[in-house]
Structure 1
Amino acid sequence: MFDFLKLGFAEVNWLVVTAIGIYGWVIKKYSASAQELAELRVRVIQIENSIKDMPSKEELAEIEGDIKVLTANIGSIANSVEKVDKAVTRIESHLIDKSK
């Protein structure tokens, strides 16, 4: 009844070698080469170095506070410049009217 399932040593050997060959081909196809691993290692080191040099959240908050203070100072300087500009315009107008 199951005579077709009887396999000899040669057939079993052929099946095992074929299965191992297919397994090896699949593993090689989906595994990374040594060069790819070296390239990834270099990229990871570069990313780690760039992250190491980045400011922390606390440093960013401090910089933001400094920028707010500078913005307020620039606003007050702009107001002072406007007042000086108005005073110069008034003096200029006075001198022009006086010379006529």
Structure 2
Amino acid sequence: MNIEQLNFGFGTMQWVVIGVIGIYSWLIGRQAASAKELLELRTRITTLEAEMRAVPSHNQLNELMGRLERLDAKLEGVTDSMQPLARSLDRINDYLLQHK
């Protein structure tokens, strides 16, 4: 072996080592990005789970609909009972306006 062959061997080894370091750094960077994305996804899922706890269930919505229907029926009853009273007040108002 002469010096030129050793220089060629060292130059080749230098490129191989730089290539391996480049590939290694690319893989590490990719894993870091994946870890960051995973942390972001975990945060989003945790937030979504916390928000979903506040959403009423199907049974609770059905109960609420039943209560609203009962309330609507009661309001209709109150409206029906108020109509004769309104007519009476109109008659009293007309009487008072005519007999000043």
Bin the TM-score by the shorter chain: 0.5 to 0.7
Q: Which letter maps to 2:49?
A: E
Q: Which letter maps to 2:48?
A: I
More helix by share: 2
> How many matched pairs?
91
Report what 1:31 is aligned to.
34
Shift of 1:84: 0.8
Alignment of 1:1-100 (within 5 A): 11=12, 14-15=15-16, 17-25=18-26, 27-29=28-30, 30-33=33-36, 37=39, 40-97=41-98, 99=99
Q: Normalising to structure 1: TM-score of the pair? A: 0.61
Q: Normalising to structure 2: TM-score of the pair? A: 0.61
Report what 1:4 is aligned to.
none
Structure 1 residue ranges, 4+ long, deviating more than 6 angstroms after superposition: none
Aligned counterparts of 1:68 and 1:12: Cα–Cα separation in 2: 83
Unaligned runs of 5+ in 2: 1-8
Root-mean-square deviation (CA, aligned residues, Å) is 3.3
Unaligned runs of 5+ in 1: 1-7
Q: Which letter maps to 1:78?
A: T
Q: What percent of counterpart residues are identical?
A: 33
Aligned counterparts of 1:84 and 1:61: Cα–Cα separation in 2: 35
Shift of 1:13: 6.3
Aligned counterparts of 2:16 and 2:61: Cα–Cα separation in 1: 65
Aligned counterparts of 2:92 and 2:36: Cα–Cα separation in 1: 81
